[in-house]
Structure 1
C-alpha cells in the first residue's frame, strides 16, 4: 500500500510540474519561442528546428503532465516524459548549459523510478474498470 501511495504522489508531482510548465508558457508562447531561439543562437542546431521544438514543447509538457496527473496511459506518458527530457538534455549539451543538464538529470531519475515501478500505479484512470 505504501508503494502505491508513493507512486501516486510521485506521478502526481511530476504531472503537476510538467503541466505547470506548459500552462505558464502557452499564454506567452511567442516570447518563450523567441527566448529559446536566442538561447540557442550559438548552438549548431538549425534555427527552424529550435523554433519548431520550442513551439511544441509547452504543449507536450501540458499533455504529458495531464496524462500523469490522471494516470491515463501512464506507461506511455512516462516514456514520453523521459524522451522529452532526453531531447532537452541533448539541446542543453549543444549550448553547454551544464546547470540545466543537472536539473534535467534529476527529472530523468524521477522518470526512471516512475517507469521501473509502474506496477505500483494503482490509483489511476488506467486502473478503473
Structure 2
C-alpha cells in the first residue's frame, strides 16, 4: 500500500532540523565544557601538543583561550537556527583552523574527524533552504515557504 506524499512533505525540513540541532549541540558543548573546566587549563593543555611545530607558544595559547568561546557561541547559533548562514560559515572557518593544527601535528585521526564535521557544515549550508524550523525563519531571516 502506497503512503500518501503528504506524509513525507516535510521530511527534508525535519531532517535538516535534526542534523542542525545535533551538530549545534555537539559544537556548543565542546565550548561549554571547556569553559566550565577553565579556558586557561584547556589552553595550557595544548602547549605540549604543539611544542614540536613551528607555531609560537603565544599563538597556541591565544587560540586555546579563544576556541571554547567561539565553539560555544557558533554552536549555540547553529543549535537555535539563529544567524545560521553566518554561524555555519564561521564554524567552517574555525574547522579549517583546527584542521590546520591537526595536520601540522600529523594527528590524522583528529583531522579525519574534522572532515566529518566539515561535511556536516557543508551539507547544512548547501541545504539551508530547508531551515524552516529555526529562529531565522521565525524572525523572517530564513526560508518562509516549503518546496
Do both share a fold (TM > 0.5)?
Answer: yes
Instruction: Tell me how large the CA RMSD over aligned residues is.
Output: 0.8
- After TM superposition, give the deviation of residue 114 of structure 1 in Å: 0.5
Q: Residues 1-129 of structure 1 correspond to what in structure 2 (within 5 A)?
A: 1-27=10-36, 28-129=38-139
Task: Show structure 2 runs of 5+ residues with no match.
Answer: 1-9, 140-147
Q: 1:9-37: per-residue Cα shift (whole Å, max 9, x none)?
A: 11100110011101110122122111111
Looking at secondary structure, tell me which structure has more helix per residue: 1
- State the 1:42 CA deviation: 0.8
Once residues 39 and 68 of structure 2 are traced to their aligned partners in structure 1, the CA distance between those partners, rounded to angstroms, is 8
**In structure 2, how many angstroms separate the alpha carbons of the residues matched to 1:34 and 1:49?**
11
Runs of 4 or more, structure 1, over 4 Å off, are none
TM-score, normalised by the number of residues in structure 2: 0.85
Comparing 60-69 and 22-31, the one that deviates more: 22-31
Aligned residues: 129
Matches of 2:47 and 2:40, distance apart in 1: 10
CA distance in 1, matches of 2:11, 2:93: 28
Structure 2: how far apart are the matches of 1:65 and 1:75? 12
Query: Greater relative contact order (Cα 8 A, min sep 6): structure 1 or 2?
Result: 1
Q: Distance in 1 between matches of 2:127 and 2:47?
A: 36
